[in-house]
Amino acid sequence: MWVLIGLPTAEAERQAEVMDITLVHGDITEQEVDAIVNAANSSLMGGGGVDGAIHRRGGPAILDECRKLRATRFGGGLPTGYAVATTAGNLPARWVIHTVGPVYSPTEERSGLLASCYRESLRVADELGAQTVAFPAVSAGIYGWPAHDAARIAIGTVLSTPTQVAEARFVLFTKEVYAAFEQALAAV
């Protein structure tokens, strides 16, 4: 596992006083944090990629709460760019924050929706009182978002969002995506 502690500069200075950005090459389901962010889909019923891994390792308690959310607040599904929390079940975290990234489109500008995933996840984390939050590279897998652009939006949004979260830990599963985040952090 590789770990890089970012030292953000200039425009991010105010935010850096209260927040560390950490990059980890590894599996998000192994992270001991307050909240783990899930790159879910609108159904909240699970799927492949990091969503599948979180439900597998977290166990059925997560899906139970997702079902309740579908039966109450999100009958039509969780809209793209939104975030909502459930228990983390058997994961070494207190909560899972589910967010729905946009599917990448080469012809339509959807960056605002991807930024919204990070902003909304931090807002929910603040509501919960989560101090440490692990993020995957939302939309950068099955949803096809190019890694460098996904990394730029993720780091830029987290650094520019006012929050009480003390550590935002990006947990990147592949070397390619880890390298993209490393470059995006260095460019801040």
CB of 99 to ligand AR6, least distance (A): 9
14 vs 56, beta carbon nearer ligand AR6: 56
- The active-site residue out of 20, 51, 64, 126 is 51
Query: Both tokens of residue 51?
Result: 């969503």
Active site residue 51: yes
Q: 62 near 89, Cβ under 8 Å?
A: yes
DSSP 144-164: ---HHHHHHHHHHHHHHS---
The residue (of 12 and 86) whose beta carbon lies closer to ligand AR6 is 86
- Note the maximum CA span of the chain: 45
Please provide residue 66's backbone torsions phi and psi, each rounded to the nearest 5 degrees.
-60, -40
Residues that bind ligand AR6 (CB under 6 A): 27-29, 39-41, 47-51, 53, 101, 136-143, 171, 173-174, 177
Residue number, 39 or 165, with CB nearest to ligand AR6: 39
Least distance (Å) between residue 13 CB and ligand AR6: 29
* Shortest Å, Cβ 19 to ligand AR6: 20
Report how far apart, in Å, the C-alpha atoms of 16 and of each of 7, 93, 129, 165, 182 are.
8, 24, 19, 11, 17
Active site residues: 51
